[in-house]
Chains A and B, each alone.
Chain A
Amino acid sequence: EDQVTQSPEALRLQEGESSSLNCSYTVSGLRGLFWYRQDPGKGPEFLFTLYSAGEEKEKERLKATLTKKESFLHITAPKPEDSATYLCAPTSGGSYIPTFGRGTSLIVHP
């Protein structure tokens, strides 16, 4: 059974204080891993897809990395507008249906 664990559950940062969010996964034959951002009361917004260990993707202050067991979302010098819940979702080779983690709720204080 595919499993995904995101940590921490909640993270509070000061503006400019860099940090990382973790996504640990157990899937049989990773096909791809997705990262999403979700604002309160809204649908998730797609950020990145990572396909193989060692791959990195960047967008503004966000950088996603992937190993064989984990993915990290690094946030550099965050701003209050980066406050949201970040979801990761790996997809196993036998399916195209991703398994979503419970997310990390990030709050960035000005």
Chain B
Amino acid sequence: DGGITQSPKYLFRKEGQNVTLSCEQNLNHDAMYWYRQDPGQGLRLIYYSQIVNDFQKGDIAEGYSVSREKKESFPLTVTSAQKNPTAFYLCASSNNYNEQFFGPGTRLTVL
């Protein structure tokens, strides 16, 4: 089955730690995206990538980093510089101008 997988489903971070969220897709999509979702808020774009080895900042990139070494993979690192990282993180992919398909999400909690 084609789709997007995210891991882990739940993640706990201590103060000062960097953590990495995994996102893999086998839809052969060129573009991949990371969003953050907080209660009562819309999806906010963190980073996106149109092609391997290239990515752009979204609206709330501070405190996050990404890489795109393979077409199928777009991991997100939440660094210690992100002061309020507790949120639900969603990865998506698309063929650029078409609809996005989302993964199941990772819920990150800071202890």
Residues in A whose Cβ lies below 8 Å from that of B43: 44, 87, 89, 100
Number of A interface residues in the complex (CB < 8 A): 22
C-alpha spacing A103/B41, complex, angstroms: 8
Q: B63 at interface (Cβ–Cβ under 8 A)?
A: no
* Interface positions of B (Cβ within 8 A of A): 4, 6, 31, 33, 35, 40-43, 45, 48, 58, 88, 90, 92, 94, 96-105, 107
C-alpha spacing A12/B35, complex, angstroms: 28
Q: A102 at interface (Cβ–Cβ under 8 A)?
A: yes
Q: A31 at interface (Cβ–Cβ under 8 A)?
A: yes
Which one of B48, B98, B105 contacts A43 once the chains associate, using CB atoms below 8 Å? Answer: B105
B89 to chain A, nearest CB (A): 10
A46–B100 CB distance below 8 A: yes
C-alpha spacing A26/B45, complex, angstroms: 18
